[in-house]
Chains A and B, each alone.
Chain A
Amino acid sequence: MHDAVPTLLEVQNLKKYFPVRRAFLSRLASHVKAVDDVSFSVLQGETFGLVGESGCGKTTTGRAVLRLIEPDSGEVRFDGADLLKLSRTELRRKRRDMQIIFQDPYASLNPRMKIRNIVGEPFIIHKIHTSERDDRVAELLKVVGMDSAAMNRYPHEFSGGQRQRIGIARALALKPKLIVADEPVSALDVSIQAQITELLRELQRKFGMAYLFISHSIPVVEQLSRRIGVMYLGKLVEVGTAEQICWSPKHPYTQALISAVPVPDPGSRTKRIVLRGDVPTPLNPPSGCRFHTRCPIAEERCRKEEPMLRTIGDGRAAACHFAS
């Protein structure tokens, strides 16, 4: 049934390496492979979730897609255009259709600007002259569940949840086709998290934009996503529908990640898969399969041969020699 829905965003072989200087004034010594050959696609109006632990490259992926960070190589096709080949002006025009919501609602709103100007700024940047800009701002605030009286106030007068709503209103201003939501609820208390998640769901129903939803929390990603990609050390290790990923994960890392989620039900204290050791540094990732140092089923082959992300039926894919 999804065959009819066109693809909005297609990311192919995306790479972003950050150079690291070993010592003061020395020559470039190595690179952090933050995003290393990542491919996925997002359909119009769907939510694609990217999940993984700190340092796995999920945020860098989100930003590289928008060219907020310039990727080193790869292809990002968005709405018919190859973003990485666009000039500055062309890119700026395209950015109307792709917006971002940030994790920290305290850092992402300018404390010296009134809400009127924060939410209204996209119109100025994109030279959309509307005589009744204030009306538009008031309307946007209403859409995210806030009173228009908020316009004359400053960010510090609002709680974390309210600020996140303001950030969402700003992202919605130009009616984008894609919103990259980078950990939009991680800084919030659970009761507020639930409100913001519900708001994002409702807005999607109303306006039909797609989300690239980035989070470290599998339960949060599952709530909103139709499909999910799991990242580990700069690579996508598994992609599938939310139900496939959460209920029959095939990659041993996904299995451990899901098993590690504490369940708010004391009746279900089950034996979990506890991974040994720490996540290795992306500065010098392990040879072969990057997960082999912590993998409970690793064999000799995993040390040498890197598994490719390959289709294993039903529209799902996993990067493990043993997944089937």
Chain B
Amino acid sequence: MTSSSAILEVRNLRTSFFSSNNEVRAVDDVSFRVEKGKTLGLVGESGSGKSVAAMSILRLIGPPGKVLAGEILFQGRDLHAITERELRSIRGSRISMVFQEPMTALNPVLDVGSQIAEAVLAHPEVSKVSKREAWAHAVQAMRDVAIPDPDKRARDYPHQLSGGMRQRVMIAMALVCRPELLIADEPTTALDVTIQAQILELLADLQKRFGLSMILISHDLGVIAEVAETVAVMNAGKIVETGTVSDIFSSASHPYTQGLLAAVPRLGSSRTRQDLNA
């Protein structure tokens, strides 16, 4: 692997949260890379630091948290070192993020079309457009994520949409400026399994169409196995193991990864077990 194929390289990232007499090392010397056009799966249990790592990339950590050290090289530029103003021209346009809970991430008193258009208007450096044009971009983005009847749906408020449709809106908003890197933080965790299948299919399709690179954060090893090319396993703020998806799933070497894999409920237990309340 040459470093030229990486779109993002994170080196020795450290993020901590502080209380009056305590430091919690949420992300403790973490390094990983995302290859261009590929998906990195970041997997771990609650509190392992996977979301904090992702939010540190886009400087979304507020007090009492602080990114203490590290390099975040996005196409060769260190995002940790640039000014807030420079970062703002990257966040949401060249790197964007999809969150777990679409109901809390969307503004309940604004129609979804305006919220997507807002993302376009916030980035005049990408395309300087009028409000009307921004709205047209928003409707097109909704069409891209396969929302039926986007002209009409754009005028809906979040509560009028189902969970799956709201997550599609979030994805439309993230992609409307055509970013190169998408960070999806548990994008399907709040959804039912048949809707999850739709969203995963959509993400794979969008990745192919737009040549997106992706960081997919999930606690679900099944989702990671389906979507990712490379995997980083996090536990207690550290990356305990990285590798290609086939390495991790077929020959995990770290005991934590092995334990995690063994704990996943798999279909098929009814065929192998014997003594079930017979």
Do A and B assemble together? yes
A45, A47, A194, A246: the one within 8 Å of B267 (CB): A246
- The complex places the Cα of A218 from the Cα of B194 at a distance, in Å, of 12
Q: What string of 1s and 0s marks CB contacts (under 8 Å) between A243-269 and chain B?
A: 100110000000011111111111101
Question: Given the known A-B contacts A1-B278, A47-B277, are A246 and B268 also in contact in the complex, defined by CB atoms under 8 Å?
Answer: yes
Q: Do B277 and A45 touch across chains, with their CB atoms under 8 A apart?
A: yes
A183 close to chain B: CB less than 8 A: no
Which residues B236-278 have CB closer than 8 A to chain A?
245-246, 249-250, 259-271, 275-278
B165 close to chain A: CB less than 8 A: yes
Q: Do A263 and B45 touch across chains, with their CB atoms under 8 A apart?
A: no
- The complex places the Cα of A262 from the Cα of B245 at a distance, in Å, of 14
Contacts of A243 in B (CB 8 A): 270-271
Q: Do B222 and A264 touch across chains, with their CB atoms under 8 A apart?
A: yes
Contacts of B261 in A (CB 8 A): 264
Question: Given the known A-B contacts A194-B263, A265-B225, A265-B249, are A275 and B198 also in contact in the complex, defined by CB atoms under 8 Å?
Answer: yes
CB distance from A181 to the nearest CB of B (A): 13
- The complex places the Cα of A297 from the Cα of B195 at a distance, in Å, of 19
Contacts of A204 in B (CB 8 A): 277
A241 close to chain B: CB less than 8 A: yes
- The complex places the Cα of A264 from the Cα of B258 at a distance, in Å, of 12
Q: Do A53 and B194 touch across chains, with their CB atoms under 8 A apart?
A: yes
B180 close to chain A: CB less than 8 A: no
- The complex places the Cα of A217 from the Cα of B250 at a distance, in Å, of 24
Q: What string of 1s and 0s marks CB contacts (under 8 Å) between B55-70 and chain A?
A: 0000000000000000
Interface residues on A, range: 35 or more
B196 close to chain A: CB less than 8 A: yes
Q: Do B222 and A262 touch across chains, with their CB atoms under 8 A apart?
A: yes
Residue of B194, B195, B267 with most partner-chain A CB within 10 A: B194
B: residues with CB less than 8 A from A are: 45-46, 162, 164-165, 192-198, 200-201, 219-226, 245-246, 249-250, 259-271, 275-278
Identify 27 residue pairs between A and B in the complex whose beta-carbon atoms are under 8 Å apart, listed by A's number.
Answer: A1-B278, A45-B277, A46-B277, A191-B260, A216-B193, A219-B265, A219-B267, A219-B269, A222-B265, A222-B269, A225-B270, A226-B276, A242-B270, A242-B276, A246-B268, A256-B194, A259-B197, A260-B193, A262-B196, A263-B267, A264-B221, A264-B225, A272-B197, A274-B198, A275-B198, A276-B198, A279-B194
